[in-house]
Amino acid sequence: MADQSDPPPPPRPAESPPFRWQAFLQHAREPLFLLNQHRRILGVNRAWEELTQVRTAAARGLVCTPRRPPSDQGVLDAIAAALCPPAEVFDGKPARVRRLLAGSGLPRQRWDVDFLPFRDGKGRLRVLGKISRSVREERETSPPLPERLAALRERLDQRYGLEQSVSTLPAVQRVATQGRLAAGSRVPVLIVGESGSGREWVARSIHHQGESRELHFAALNCAALPPAALASGLFGEGRLLGLPGVGTLFLKEIDRLPRDLQDRLAAWLADSPAAQPRLIAATAADPAEAVRTGRLLESLHCSLATLVISVPPLRDRVADLGWLVDRLLERIGTGEDKPVRDLTPAAWEAVKAYDWPGNLRELNSVLLTAVSRTQGDRIDVADLPAVVRRNGKAAAPPLRAAPVLSLDEILERVERRLIEVALRRAQGNKSRAAELLSVWRTRLIRRVEALGIADS
Amino acid sequence: MLYPQLLVYETDGLLAASLRPLAEERRWALREPRQLGACLRLLRRPHPAVLVLKIGADVIREMSLLERVRWLRPEAATVVVGDVENGALALLAWHFGAGYVLVPPQPRFLLPAVIVSLMEHSVSRLRPAAGRSTVGPGAAEPLGESLPEQEV
């Protein structure tokens, strides 16, 4: 039963929100620059200016090629040549190179330069560049993990590669591209998508592909936790904000965070030092609508929405259902003697026709249930829940004959059903339920315990 | 009807004993699996569930369970509880997907409220597509249904 206070699903956007690259550059603390398809610098950020001692006005328009027409601007020549992207970047492939940067005010040393190609809202190729030290900064980390724990962590971390999405759908590929952009910096990210659509997977993927991958990821569900726990987790003694070792903090359903905590979080984002966990937030609501109705503080939204990633709902990913179901069945079947690997054609038709309002989470739940019911090595349409079958366009198959039950099993089912209905009618009051069933209260209590019935 | 399950995984039964009144009051089924496999089997059922995991006795095993739960049933909420302050272990639990971690200095008195809130959220997300009618007050149904319906 849906929580009445759950926000309605956001209207499907005609297209993803445009990438606000100017805001992205300005909010990032790493030295960043943006190139067009002609290798011309479109913009740089303050950190880039401070590193190179070259102002934006002088940098804008520079063409980053190995050879430039001779000019008296030696420093600019050297910087432009050092920031020349390799050829594969213009084929859409990210790249990292090590370059010697030299110039007034610039320490003479090798720097890592990352190039991330992407398409802007008008389909034009753009390349985001980031400059970072080649020698990794010393970080305060926990002592090395025992080998088995390290292996366990490695196994978990390997599941979150953005390249693992084999979808060819533009909306999903856009998520992967934006995720790689996000992984290349530490700007806050806002992920918008329906519940169950894979927002946390995107957040973890950004973390595991970023520089802070060796640190930890922590997630708080603002809709599921009580305010006191959220306050303690965020700002209390063991707070996740500012705790060394936390690389990314993911706040799910950010519009459900209590108002006073939103206020404190916005203030923290404005005042926090460079060494912070990277913040990623998610919401199922339309952010603009949430701000308009007061569910989301505007100041917090502005801080978070430097990079907005829209995750498509499952109903818009029918083409992906095949490999998604395969992956989920493989996951469910791990460790089982006889894993179920496939669906019958009729079951596939029903799965493809269903709307999946609960998205990937619902798909996982349905497959879990179906696997537990199926008696063969394939899920049949009869193994699927009625709501999935009913929405399917395939003709309803004949119901399978119920398995043969013993008399005791049949009686136990009947008894359980009658007690559950009585308790529901009596709103949990056992005395009233016993009256409805015309039995002694003590007998009802004994049967409830014996049958393992829990009622609300 | 899918009744909520409160699973408590620990070695000595003390945590389960302290949570039993809460489970009885809320009419949740309290389960105390002692083996990883038994715990995972219980979580494979479509019932709304919260797993309370006491850490410290066997960290490898406990983190393995957390990692498996995350993988198998990501929507099942887990609360990790510890008695001794251990920041590294707490962070590891967060990383492996705990819904909340109550290891000192996090105050233990938050545990009941956290469990109740996570369970209510889990129940509210249960959809008819999971196979059965949802938990909680439902539409009134006539008594006297003679035979159980074909499972839907």
The pLDDT score that the predictor gives to residue A266 is 92
What's at A44, amino acid-wise? V
Flag if B87 and A245 touch (Cβ within 8 Å). yes
Flag if B117 and A225 touch (Cβ within 8 Å). yes
What is the reported pTM? Answer: 0.70
Using the Cβ of A292 and the Cβ atoms of chain B, whether some distance falls under 8 Å is answered with no
Flag if B73 and A368 touch (Cβ within 8 Å). yes
How far is residue A446's CA from residue B125's CA, in Å, rounded to a whole number?
A: 31
Best interface-test mutation with B: which of A152, A412, A445 has the largest number of B CBs within 10 A?
A152
Best interface-test mutation with A: which of B66, B80, B95, B106 has the largest number of A CBs within 10 A?
B95
Distance from CA of B143 to the nearest CA of A (A): 7
How far is residue A42's CA from residue A29's CA, in Å, rounded to a whole number?
A: 18
Using the Cβ of B118 and the Cβ atoms of chain A, whether some distance falls under 8 Å is answered with yes
Distance from CA of B11 to the nearest CA of A (A): 20
Flag if A425 and B141 touch (Cβ within 8 Å). yes
Give the DSSP letter string of A49-74. HHHHT--HHHHTT-B--SS----S-H
E strand or H helix that includes residue A192: strand A189-192
Flag if A428 and B91 touch (Cβ within 8 Å). no
State the burial class of residue B119 (Cβ atoms within 10 Å of its Cβ: 0-12, 13-18, 19+).
buried
**Cross-chain CB nearest to A369 (options B29, B116, B130):** B130
Distances (CA, A) of A333 to A171, A220, A329, A330, B80: 29, 29, 6, 5, 26
Longest dimension (CA), chain B: 56
Q: What is the mean pLDDT of each run of 10 residues along chain A (456 residues)?
A: 46 55 78 92 89 87 72 71 88 84 60 86 88 54 67 79 72 89 89 94 92 90 96 88 88 96 91 75 95 94 91 93 90 74 91 92 89 86 88 49 64 84 86 87 89 72
Using the Cβ of A413 and the Cβ atoms of chain B, whether some distance falls under 8 Å is answered with yes
- Do the strands A246-252 and A278-283 form a parallel or antiparallel pair, or are they unpaired? parallel
- From chain B, the residues in CB contact with A142 under 8 A are 87-88, 91
Strands (E), A32-171: 32-36, 41-44, 95-103, 106-119, 125-133
- From chain A, the residues in CB contact with B124 under 8 A are 1-3, 6
Best interface-test mutation with A: which of B91, B92, B96 has the largest number of A CBs within 10 A?
B91
How far is residue A133's CA from residue A114's CA, in Å, rounded to a whole number?
A: 11
Flag if B100 and A229 touch (Cβ within 8 Å). yes
Closest CA to A207 of A223, A219, A194, A192: A219
By C-alpha distance, the chain B residue nearest A373 is B151
Using the Cβ of B64 and the Cβ atoms of chain A, whether some distance falls under 8 Å is answered with yes
**Cross-chain CB nearest to A217 (options B95, B100, B105):** B95
Flag if A221 and B106 touch (Cβ within 8 Å). no
The pLDDT score that the predictor gives to residue A257 is 97
Buried b (16+ CB within 10 A) or exposed e, A82-116: bbbbeeebbeeebeebebebebeebeeeebebbbb
Token look-up 């190995």 returns A66
How far is residue A385's CA from residue A389's CA, in Å, rounded to a whole number?
A: 6
**Cross-chain CB nearest to B106 (options A236, A452, A454):** A236
Flag if A452 and B29 touch (Cβ within 8 Å). yes
- From chain A, the residues in CB contact with B113 under 8 A are 226, 228-229
Interface of B with A in 33-52 (CB under 8 A): 40, 44-46
Task: Mention every residue, 6+ apart, whose C-beta is less than 8 A from residue A397.
Answer: A346, A380, A381, A382
Flag if A422 and B143 touch (Cβ within 8 Å). yes
Flag if A224 and B121 touch (Cβ within 8 Å). yes
- From chain B, the residues in CB contact with A246 under 8 A are 91, 94
**Cross-chain CB nearest to A454 (options B27, B91, B126):** B27
How far is residue B28's CA from residue B17's CA, in Å, rounded to a whole number?
A: 14
Count Cα neighbours of B146 within 13 Å in the Cβ-side half-sphere: 0
Flag if B129 and A216 touch (Cβ within 8 Å). no
The 8 Å CB, 24+ separation contacts for A40-46 are A40/A64, A41/A80, A41/A83, A42/A126
Using the Cβ of B121 and the Cβ atoms of chain A, whether some distance falls under 8 Å is answered with yes
Flag if B29 and A156 touch (Cβ within 8 Å). no
> Contact at 8 Å (CB) between A430 and A455?
no
* ipTM for this model: 0.84
Using the Cβ of A411 and the Cβ atoms of chain B, whether some distance falls under 8 Å is answered with no
Flag if A245 and B140 touch (Cβ within 8 Å). no
The pLDDT score that the predictor gives to residue A392 is 52
By C-alpha distance, the chain B residue nearest A423 is B137
Flag if B63 and A152 touch (Cβ within 8 Å). yes
Using the Cβ of A396 and the Cβ atoms of chain B, whether some distance falls under 8 Å is answered with no
Q: How many CB pairs under 8 A join A and B?
A: 203
- From chain B, the residues in CB contact with A430 under 8 A are none
Using the Cβ of B112 and the Cβ atoms of chain A, whether some distance falls under 8 Å is answered with no
**pLDDT tens digit at each of 152 positions of chain B:** 678 999 999 988 999 999 999 999 999 999 999 888 899 888 888 788 999 999 988 888 899 899 888 888 888 899 999 988 888 889 999 999 999 999 988 888 999 999 999 999 988 876 544 444 444 433 323 333 322 333 32
